[in-house]
Amino acid sequence: MFAYIVRRMFQSVIVLLVVGLVAFSMFRFVGDPIDNMLGQERTQADIDRLRTELGLDQPFPVQYFKFLQGAVQGNFGVSYRQGRPVSTIIAERAPATLELAFVSGFLAITLGIALGVFTAIRRQGIAANVIMTVSLIGVSLPTFLIGILLIYIFSVELDLLPSFGRGETVMIGNWSTGFLTASGLKALILPAITLGLYQMTLIMRLVRSEMLEVLRADYVRFARARGLSDRVINFRHALKNTLVPVITITGLQLGSIIAFAIITETVFQWPGVGLLFINAIQFVDIPVMAAYLMLISVMFVTINLIVDLLYYAIDPRLRVDARAT
């Protein structure tokens, strides 16, 4: 167990170092930082001075090490476009994205599992078939079209919900939250549905197929023969055993929620980190891009690590495999 954890963490660190190298190379080779920082009227002496000051005259590995040192301390330099430290900008934007991701993740997991169980138990029912068909269309629709469709229905035609922004927010310390105001909650509905829909259908289909398989298993038939009620069989016996793969996929999907938030945030002009990243790409704002890349990979690697370890803890068969290799 211990060896497995150590090996797994070692892998994660290597991945992060490689991503760091990519991010660092962006700084170093995409555009000249000196060009970006000094204005038109510069002398060679200025350039040389700044080069020494920034440490750009040092060998590549030394620079890379310094970059990593800064990155670990949350220092990613100054945004070319806004002229403010990247860490400050991201800290301002993070609450919006995290709240959106949290709500849509919650929606996706609860509704996904509930609908998955429902469609598995009532396999022949009309409602279940309708849900399955709708979900098929939902999977084929690109996320941004779902967002536009929702805006068209609920903002343009019905005029019920706002189509952009976060509404009013309240500051709690450094955290700006939209949970406490009516307009903030209203503004959250459409983006959260847009972002969560795809993950929800995915979880639902997964739960359904796992559940159908488990319901055919011998131990479920024995449980039925013992005269246990349907509710006990479905929820105590069957659902529990479908959850192992569901946890893995759900965990991995949490990462993609953050990534797909980029699309949703652009459609709804949600002032989060994803919108920041898209604007950074459009204006080639390298420090912001690099910081976003580092942040998101730390998140992905951590999620993957946790999922792997959880899986290892849940499924005893893996332990045997790990020892064998």
Residues that bind other proteins (CB under 8 A): 15, 18, 26, 29-31, 140-145, 148, 151-152, 155-156, 163, 252, 255-256, 259-260, 262-263, 266-267, 277-278, 280-282, 284, 286, 289, 293, 296-297, 300-301, 304
Q: Which residue number, 145 or 314, has a Cβ lying nearer to other proteins?
A: 145
> 77: closest CA among 85, 68, 67, 65?
85
Report the nearest approach of other proteins to the CB of residue 159 (Å).
10
Q: Which residue number, 188 or 280, has a Cβ lying nearer to other proteins?
A: 280
d(CA 204, CA 117): 8
Q: Which residue number, 165 or 224, has a Cβ lying nearer to other proteins?
A: 165
Report the nearest approach of other proteins to the CB of residue 15 (Å).
5
Report the nearest approach of other proteins to the CB of residue 29 (Å).
8
The answer to whether the CB of 198 falls within 8 A of the CB of 139 is: yes
Report the nearest approach of other proteins to the CB of residue 6 (Å).
18
Q: Which residue number, 64 or 268, has a Cβ lying nearer to other proteins?
A: 268
Q: Please identify which residue in the block is written with the tokens 């945004």.
A: 79
Q: Which residue number, 64 or 300, has a Cβ lying nearer to other proteins?
A: 300
Report the nearest approach of other proteins to the CB of residue 279 (Å).
9
| Ordered DSSP codes for 237-250 | IIHHHHHHHHHHHH
Cα–Cα distances (Å) from 153 to 69, 165, 172, 193, in that order, read: 49, 17, 33, 13
The answer to whether the CB of 104 falls within 8 A of the CB of 192 is: yes
d(CA 325, CA 317): 13
